[in-house]
Amino acid sequence: MPLDARTNSLGFAKAPADTRVVVAMSGGVDSSVVAAELASEGYDVVGVTLQLYDHGAALAKKGACCAGRDIHDARRVAEAMGFPHYVLDYENAFREAVIDEFADSYLGGATPVPCIRCNERVKFRDLLETAKDLDADCMATGHYIRREAGPFGPELHRATDPVRDQSYFLFSTTAEQLDYLRFPLGHLETKAQTRALAAKHGLPVVDKPDSQDICFVPNGDYAAVIEKLRPGAGEPGKIVHVDGRVLGRHDGVIRYTIGQRRGLGIGGLADPLYVVRLEADTRRVVVGPKSELATRIVTVAEVNWLGDAPFASRDAWTLGVKVRSTKPPVEAVVRPTGPTSATVELAVPEEGVSPGQACVFYAPQGSRVFGGGWIVRR
């Protein structure tokens, strides 16, 4: 957003034509609208699409991003709007920074969120540096989140549309990155407004469906992908009740997640059982009643703090906290245990909290995002 009347819509004190902006284009309607809007405002737009995984596999999968079909769609939008478009081969970087950790986390009994790592390590680190190499003044994306001017610099805020808000997936955006990034869609009230803008510009992706699930996991079958990446990962083991009883056997810890109820293969019991713990070292899936899922104390690491005062400058922070993307923040007390670590005490116990997930911090009132960390223990 402009800081005052002397700046353009991206916050620079010069004409749009003199402002170069790299737009990260996934081939979907959101980033395409961002690029088209900025081009129509007269900005020096450069579209960049990342090839993240094999074209042959990608072309056969609908609803992904950064795949062969999507690269083609991004190029068509650039041609229609008259700005240059580049495709960068990031396959190796994506595998090393995202896919390998995804597989290893599942093998370790965690529940990873690879989309966050992709934003953190590929789009907002590697691609951002590429944008600077192209002498861009900033980089814009189609994420639904807001960047607002604050008294101490740019602040991260939730999107106006709570249904589309992507702050959970962008908590690790650093203050330095935020200074360079722009999110032109964050103020829109509905996705329908985005599609209306696509129609206004006559974009070929106006009716394209949103991307679904994790882009490199066909049909949501995590176990099949992990077994392909790590042969032998699906070793069988025991299904054990929290009281020590052996209830059955399973075909691999990687096929289970904390909170899972269906598909355990241990029917015939009076009360429903849920996965409450995964013990990768002993290949045990531990199950128990729903009450065993409730968690109040969560340990987090790799904290990215976006507050004005240093994170460890207080003994405790009273914040709103999200431990999964689909639920609203709950009140919590965050106690720093170091510059990038903390214990989080939830006012209301949460069910199904798992290591590998994100714990995102919010202002108790209002829309500001204060960063967050990665859950390492519950």
> What pLDDT sits at residue 268?
64
What does the pLDDT average to over 352-357? Answer: 91
> What pLDDT sits at residue 56?
46
> What pLDDT sits at residue 5?
55
Asked whether the predicted pLDDT for residue 111 surpasses 90, the reply is no
Least confident of 133-137, 288-292, 304-308: 288-292
Least confident of 52-66, 159-173, 202-216, 355-369: 52-66
What does the pLDDT average to over 292-310? Answer: 96
SS (H, E, C) the chain: CCCCCCCCCCCCCCCHHHCEEEEECCCCHHHHHHHHHHHHCCCEEEEEEEECCCHHHHHCCCCCCCCHHHHHHHHHHHHHHCCCEEEEECHHHHHHHHHHHHHHHHHCCCCCCHHHHHHHHHHHHHHHHHHHHCCCCEEECCCCEEEEEECCEEEEEECCCCCCCCHHHHCCCCHHHHHHEECCCCCCCCHHHHHHHHHHCCCCCCCCCCCCCCCCCHHHCHHHHHHHHCCCCCCCEEEEECCCCEEEEECCHHHCCCCCCCCCCCCCCCCCCEEEEEECCCCEEEEECHHHHEEEEEEEEEEEECCCCCHHHCCCEEEEEECCCCCCCEEEEEEEEECCEEEEEEEEEEECCCCCCEEEEECCCCCEEEEEEEEEEC
> What pLDDT sits at residue 153?
94
pTM, two decimals, is 0.90
pLDDT by residue (tens digit) across 51-90?
A: 987 644 443 444 555 557 889 999 999 999 999 999 999 9
Percent of the chain surpassing pLDDT 70:
94
Asked whether the predicted pLDDT for residue 211 surpasses 50, the reply is yes
Q: Which CATH architecture has domain 16-219?
A: 3-Layer(aba) Sandwich (3.40)
> What pLDDT sits at residue 1?
45
What does the pLDDT average to over 192-199? Answer: 96
> What pLDDT sits at residue 83?
97
Least confident of 129-133, 212-216, 350-354, 360-364: 212-216
> What pLDDT sits at residue 192?
95
pLDDT by residue (tens digit) across 220-250?
A: 788 888 888 888 888 899 999 999 999 999 9
- For the chain, domain boundaries: 16-219, 234-288, 294-377
Catalytic residue numbers, as ranges? 118, 215
Query: Mean pLDDT in the chain?
Result: 91
> What pLDDT sits at residue 59?
38
CATH code at 294-377: 2.40.30.10
Least confident of 94-103, 147-156, 355-364: 94-103
Homologous superfamily in CATH for domain 234-288: Adenine nucleotide alpha hydrolases-like domains (2.30.30.280)
